[in-house]
Amino acid sequence: MKSTELFFLLAYAVAFYAFIIHRSVQLSRDHHTKLFGLRPGWLISQRLNDVSDAQWRNFRANLPILTIVFTIFALLANVSRTLFHFKAKGMSLIWIVISLAYLLYLHGACIVFIILIASLNYLLVKIFARTKYFSFIFWVFNLFFLICNRVYEGYSFSIFGQHWAFLDNFRGTFRWHICFNFVVLRMISFGYDYHWAHQDSRSNYKKHIQHCHICKSGKICYQVLQERSVPDDKFSFNIYLSYLLYAPLYLTGPIINFNAFASQLDVPQNHFSVRNVAWYGVRWVFSLLLMEVMTHLFYYNAFAISGAWRHLSPLDVFIVGYGVLNFMWLKFFLIWRYFRFWSLICGIEAPENMPRCINNCHNLESFWKNWHASFNKWLVRYIYIPLGGSQRKLLIVWVIFTFVAIWHDLEWKLLSWAWLTCLFFIPELLFKSAANAFQATNAFRVFVLRELRAVAGAVTITCLMVANLVGFVIGASGINWLTSRFLEKDGLPVLAGMFVSFYVGTKLMFHVQDFKQSRH
């Protein structure tokens, strides 16, 4: 029965993607003259390349110089560790020197603002970490600077007096307050890890080691590195500063917590062998080639930023929206894995940010665990658990997603995205609660529950598409247009087709899960 179902599901999936690819190529060819951000291609003859996304365009253009710079950084760090047998204190000084040189190029004189705020945060932690007012004072301080940095766009030296105004001519090549969002997450991590270091252990390591195949093999997994507190001497200012400014992860992450960073500064990671790291890099190169093929054939992002999607049929709007989300996933996949690769070479393991493909997530919880996974780990550790965890999940998701929206930027469309996501979370959580209470005592009940989960998955994927299109493509003002367009006569069949496709996709994900479970 399952094999027959799998055959039909695969046949539908092949037909679905064949149609999506054919229609995407046709759309790109027919509308390329109306789109912004297309440049002469190099990979496929007579095809333009979609470099309309500023983040991807800048990363792609700077790849050669970034690779040269990080090769030099990795050589300096690894040779210094080998020759002088440096531990945490020595390696922190090496990384401070390397990272300050890197930041001086990126931010110029604005590095003063970073060091000043970081120093104030360090003093605040050392003074208040053992008091009952710590959490309140600490969050107010960090949220204050997170918001003020954006409102005042990184400040101006002239506000300190006209004799300092000349420094505004030396602000570097990259806006420091954009990168500082990641620094804020690290400052909060340092503060709480120091705060919790003087309390009882928050993890049962013996229980974890019994179930973790990595720890069983004699290596140390990231979860243990994260949860296991480091000695007091590791909370020094130089290790703290090297953590905040650590060059390989400074620009984009992945986000690593202080405990994990400080312990690996002392003893380099042993989870990945040299061969594993090399293969990781080779796979990244193949993924880059995939992105180049994609941007030469499909101009999804150019449709989004040009506003051309407003003139398309509902079917084509769906194709562009689905394509934009896949483009965004692959873009972040490449950026995060690139910097994680260099961090691994330098002996520091950070969490993987995209452990699962976007097309293999059928509920909101798994999607957010696998989209920006290191940020998810950070949110769980520093917001979700301290606020009560699963006992108050329905309330906490509002706090978390509002923070995530503000952390990204002060825009109404991001707040709309956050609150839409929270609304979509409610039925999913209620359905999960009902499914857990439902006793599947026979084959019929198992079948019914599986079908209901597939329907719920199709609804969730649809909601995810809407929320992310609002947040990153059409904005809050486009909700009414999107709704009315799909509820028109020619939009309803597309809506039904979307739902059936997502239902089929969810059922395929169940088969993937079953296969993985049978292997284990």
Clarify whether residues 371 and 515 are in a common domain.
yes
Structural domain count, the chain: 2
| Residue where one domain finishes, among candidates 222, 241, 274 | 274
Clarify whether residues 401 and 500 are in a common domain.
yes
H or E, element range at 377 = helix 373-379
Query: Using an 8 Å Cβ cutoff, are 330 and 59 in contact?
Result: no
Clarify whether residues 220 and 362 are in a common domain.
no
Residue 255 belongs to a domain? yes
Q: Which two tokens stand for residue 69?
A: 């710079």
Residue whose tokens read 């120093």: 119
Residue 208 belongs to a domain? yes
Give the C-alpha separation, 360 to 508, whole Å: 9
| Residue where one domain finishes, among candidates 274, 292, 314 | 274
Clarify whether residues 260 and 397 are in a common domain.
no
Clarify whether residues 368 and 485 are in a common domain.
yes
Q: Which residues contact 86 (CB under 8 A, 6 or more apart)?
A: 80, 94
Q: For 294, what's the count of Cα atoms within 13 Å in the CB-facing half-sphere?
A: 21
Residue 195 belongs to a domain? yes
347, 413, 351, 416: which is closest to 378 by C-alpha? Answer: 351
H or E, element range at 38 = strand 38-40
H or E, element range at 39 = strand 38-40
Clarify whether residues 383 and 479 are in a common domain.
yes
Clarify whether residues 233 and 369 are in a common domain.
no
Q: 62 is in which domain, residue-wise?
A: 56-274
Give the gyration radius of the chain's Cα atoms: 24
Q: Going residue by residue through the chain, which has 520 residues, state the pLDDT in tens, using 9 for 90 and above.
A: 678 888 999 999 999 999 999 999 999 999 998 999 999 988 887 899 999 999 999 999 999 999 999 999 999 999 999 998 898 899 999 999 999 999 999 999 999 999 999 999 999 999 999 998 999 999 999 999 999 999 898 899 988 888 888 898 999 899 999 999 999 999 999 999 999 997 755 555 666 776 777 777 777 888 888 888 899 999 999 999 999 999 999 999 899 999 999 999 988 988 899 999 999 999 999 999 999 999 999 999 999 888 887 788 888 888 988 899 899 999 999 999 999 999 999 999 999 999 988 888 888 778 888 888 999 999 999 999 999 887 888 889 999 999 999 998 878 778 887 888 888 777 777 776 666 666 666 777 778 788 888 888 888 888 777 776 766 666 666 677 777 777 788 888 888 898 899 999 999 998 888 888 777 6
| Residue where one domain finishes, among candidates 257, 274, 291 | 274
Clarify whether residues 124 and 259 are in a common domain.
yes
Clarify whether residues 103 and 209 are in a common domain.
yes
276, 308, 267: which is closest to 85 by C-alpha? Answer: 267
Clarify whether residues 256 and 384 are in a common domain.
no
Q: End-to-end alpha-carbon separation of the chain, Å?
A: 22
